[in-house]
Structure 1
């Protein structure tokens, strides 16, 4: 029982950290003009403003999905689904950075992918809510 509680707390912490990161990035991408984002996020130059905004909205939705369903107990299955979706978003993101030879960004994508995958594994499996 103690290990289950510890893992549940660790998953909640991971969910909160990941949700905070994706929410901040999602708000930034979905509310700021592409031209303002390009100095901070050079990859945005390769995509239309609509695509960048869509990515931001997807990240924001994923961030909300990591917390709200599990916290409210309403449709808690959406939490691991949100984590899975965010992990999947990191794959083309990493491929974009590979193409652009941005190794630091690839590392960030890998860390975010792993965190999201751990949440998906835990919340789908042994530590489901």
Structure 2
């Protein structure tokens, strides 16, 4: 179980890091022209950049607390926050009728829910 949770956490951290770096460093006009990035045209640059920074922090929060054994409870808390973020993403893409992206967000949500459930429960770092 521990190995499955580490793999899921690593995958989720890579997804968060890639999304965060993209939102933080790619210009908004390029993001809005990219497939799946049309929603950024409706949001301010500050909002998109802030979201990118939060995604990078999520990637860090999924890995470092457990690796460094400093507040490892932050791993499932971060995964739970990622679930909330994916609900927002599903709503955003659903309103834009981008149902393929909603499906991707559901997949990410399920990974995050697995990590949160596992690290709060049977795969807890304190067990």
TM range (shorter): over 0.9
Q: Distance in 2 between matches of 1:116 and 1:34?
A: 27
In 1: Cα distance, 2:60 partner to 2:15 partner = 11
Q: TM-score w.r.t. structure 1 length?
A: 0.92
What's the C-alpha RMSD, in Å, of the aligned pairs?
0.8
- Quote the residue 1:124 is aligned against: 120
1:29 aligns with 2:26: no
Gaps of 5+ in 1: 1-6
CA distance in 2, matches of 1:24, 1:121: 24
C-alpha separation in 2, matches of 1:46 and 1:93 = 14
Residue 107 of structure 1 and its aligned partner are, at CA, apart by 0.3
TM-score, length-scaled by structure 2: 0.94
Q: 4+ residue stretches of structure 1 with deviation over 2 A?
A: none
Gaps of 5+ in 2: none
Would you say how many aligned residue pairs link Structure 1 and Structure 2? 123
Q: Name the CA distance, whole Å, in 1 between partners of 2:32 and 2:83.
A: 24
